[in-house]
Amino acid sequence: MIRPERDAFGQEIWAYFQGKRAFEVVERDDGFIDISRGAPDYFLPFKKWPKIEKQAIKFAKGKILDVGAGAGRVSLYLQKRGFAVTAIDNSPLAIQVCKKRGVKQAQVLPFEKISIFKTGSFNTVIMFGNNFGLFGSLKKAKTLLRELHRITTPSALIIAETTDPYKTDDPAHLSYQKLNKKRGRLPGQLRIRIRFRNYVGEWFDYLMVAKEEMKKILKDTGWRVKRFIGSEKAKYIAIIEKIRAFREPFHRRNC
């Protein structure tokens, strides 16, 4: 459980929820610092969502897992549309805000701990706002995709948003990608932490991938891309489906 003083992300959401000034500073492990839109975006009502999210959300169905729910904007929208949604986030303060805003099923849970859910629990997994990034690394993504395979129904979908890291001409980002390659990481595998006022979050890996990289990550996990939404800009969303005939390689070898 993240202690409140390390929950920079949650503190920022909590401040904004209380009508106080909120901002989000993102520090990368090469010393690069940036401010992101932060809190206001985590509260965006449906009508102000990016166009690609409005298109992609139409694929949502049945019981839904909202991964990295933040302030609950996606969960609240889906709940209102009549879906049963479970919102998870590793930030206790974010989940507190989700609950106060009316998300019925919201729980503090790091993505790495989704093994607590029973087999076939969800029909849809949503990872909006760059939250494909929560897969962290190639290795972690493979593990978590297999786990997602288990906790979802046979016709389940993952709807995940990311940013193509190569669609930039910023020298600072390009040299960071080089650094990542050199240390054996995916070029878009950002090691970052959130800072807000006196709150400093823990370092974590947030993975940005191009479309071809995403396909490689999905390989041998039982998932494949059904379609991509968005292609002009760096941001895009993948609708990911299960390969029906898929058996885990381990099992196949035992047939």
Residues near its own copies (CB under 8 A): 23, 25, 30-35, 172, 195-198, 200
Region class of 244: left (phi > 0), else alpha (psi between -120 and 50), else beta? alpha
Of 35 and 84, which CB lies nearer to its own copies in the complex structure? 35
Q: Which residue's CB is nearer to its own copies, number 20 or number 247? A: 20
Q: How far is the CB of 178 from its own copies (least distance, A)?
A: 14
Which of 15, 78 has the CB closer to its own copies? 15
CA distance 148 to 232: 29
Buried b vs exposed e over 180-204: b needs ≥16 C-beta within 10 Å? beeeebbbbbbbbbbbbeebebeeb
Residue 116 per-residue DSSP state: G
- Sorted by sequence, the CB contacts under 8 Å of residue 152 that are 6+ apart come out as 120, 121, 122, 123, 125, 242
Shortest approach of its own copies to residue 99 CB, angstroms? 25
Q: How far is the CB of 128 from its own copies (least distance, A)?
A: 24
74 phi and psi, to 5 degrees? -75, -45
* Residue position matching structure tokens 């979908």: 157
CA distances, 132 to each of 100, 162, 169, 253 (Å): 26, 6, 22, 30
Cα–Cα distance between 83 and 160 in angstroms, integer? 18
Rounded to a whole number of angstroms, the minimum distance from the CB of residue 201 to its own copies is 11
The residue among 20 and 80 lying less far from its own copies, judged by its C-beta, is 20
Q: Which two tokens stand for residue 93?
A: 């303060």
- Pick between residue 200 and residue 225 the one whose CB is nearest to its own copies: 200
Q: How far is the CB of 29 from its own copies (least distance, A)?
A: 12
The 10 Å CB-count burial string (b at 16+, else e) for 106-120 is: bebbebeebeebeee
Q: CB of residue 21 vs its own copies: minimum separation in angstroms?
A: 9
Give the total residue count for the chain: 255
> In angstroms, what is the minimal distance from the CB of 41 to its own copies?
15
Identity of the residue, 33 or 116, whose beta carbon is nearer to its own copies in the bound complex = 33
Choice between 138 and 200, CB closer to its own copies: 200
